[in-house]
Structure 1
């Protein structure tokens, strides 16, 4: 019989699997060249739907905590992600984003006193290398502003993951997810109104279907499962599960878009799966904890 932890891990993994469908959905069904609008439509309606289901508003410190988490996990993350996608090849942005599990592991050791071992660090390096093999191309170019945006996005999500777990909440994940999506969606709506013109042509039925899928399934459901996993699992586990997203994107490209998988990509997927399996199953590791001030005096 599957353990409760394994079932929860599998449910959390559904989130990055759904995010892996975003590229195909965006390029096939959505209005092109409007990334901020896409982010707004993803986050704001999804937050409203979850809020209508949960029917609770923040109170006390959660007014500012949910605002901070929403900006880190949704608003700022999406904005930096779009800047990186605009200035870098998708492969380069994905590889830079692949450092997030290492960032979460280090921050988790510092702020949550979670264990980090050489095995976890090695798994993070292997996972990043696997993503590189999956998505990098020889003609990939580097743009320093794009690189900075990709690193900032990965850092925002890493801090958001750790702080989501550190703060916790007496409210169910449905409610806290709604608050974060609403806050992040409002930030993205402001950026869209300021920086991005609206589409000239109206939405077609295919566009509407694509946005509906991305909002309800790829965002509302995915983030609900994601934050539920963050609450119950060690912070490193959801972070490593996030590496599944580029694997799914490449598999969809091969099966639905007719793209051919190379042996390099297959090897990269194997490394990513090995990295995720290692991070999920490692338990009895020698803990690492940052030196405290009192330790430094001895």
Structure 2
């Protein structure tokens, strides 16, 4: 179990760091083209492993459908809703809504996967939500509310992320992490390709510097290859409601990367949010706070 926790933690830390790196890349590369290139690079890197029969074990038509749904919700729909939502709503409103991610994942895990959620878990989820809210909200002191449309789009992004977590938990019990990572990246590439092609045709490919392309390569390898492999490995052994707590590490590492890479200010909001998220993880992952794992799941987890 500690190894699974480490995988989930490192996965979310990598995603958070790449949020800051993504800001550097998007300054020179259009958003949909960036997404397509990310998934293309990751698919090419993972492709050789798919020629190994052991890696493809369990990858049937049903599994492929599940991987497409993961890519649709967790990569495509999440990106579209979040990108357009934050343009229509305030940073404060978006922060409040996105802080609910661990609780939405836990709710879906309870409704769909029938996971038991006890009092320690509920407290851990509340701490994680409070920590993410502190990280998001105390950084944005500007006034102004968000539009209903913008708020609904951000809420859609949160729901899409939660559905990705639930789908990945169910599928990770029967499909290898490598095959799952390849399938999600390939599906993500196919979904973004129609949006990326017009940007690719109008893009000045010689304009970005070597540093931008290097960051894009790093982003693809860390966020689309390593992060997926770690997440799938971890969630095959950990209930989705517990894995959802680790999403709180995303804004933590994003904030730290913003401080060190983008020169942003470290504030009280950072410190408070990080403390609450870490407290949530300590409470939620201690032996007494873990919900029981069904024997059938324990036997099939890889």
CA distance in 2, matches of 1:261, 1:185: 36
Post-superposition Cα deviations, 1:63-112, rounded to whole Å, max 9, x if no partner, equal: 32222222122222222222234334556434422212111111112222
1:139 aligns with 2:124: no
Give unpaired runs (5+ residues) of structure 1: 288-298
1:226 aligns with 2:222: no
TM-score (norm 2): 0.83
- Structure 2 residue aligned with 1:23: 19
Counterpart of 1:212 (choices 217, 226, 229) is 217
CA RMSD of superposed structures (Å): 2.6
Q: Quick check: 2:172–2:233 contact (8 Å CA) kept in 1?
A: no
Distance 1:27 1:162, change over 3 A: closer
CA distance in 1, matches of 2:228, 2:109: 20
Distance 1:175 1:11, change over 3 A: same
- Greater alpha carbon shift after TM alignment, 47-56 vs 109-118: 47-56
CA distance in 2, matches of 1:286, 1:231: 15
Distance 1:286 1:131, change over 3 A: closer
Give unpaired runs (5+ residues) of structure 2: 293-302
Alpha-carbon shift at residue 260 of structure 1 (Å): 2.6
- Structure 1 residue aligned with 2:105: 104
- Structure 1 residue aligned with 2:94: 93
CA distance in 1, matches of 2:121, 2:283: 7
Distance 1:283 1:190, change over 3 A: farther
Alpha-carbon shift at residue 30 of structure 1 (Å): 4.3
Q: Quick check: 1:44–1:182 contact (8 Å CA) kept in 2?
A: yes
TM-score (norm 1): 0.84
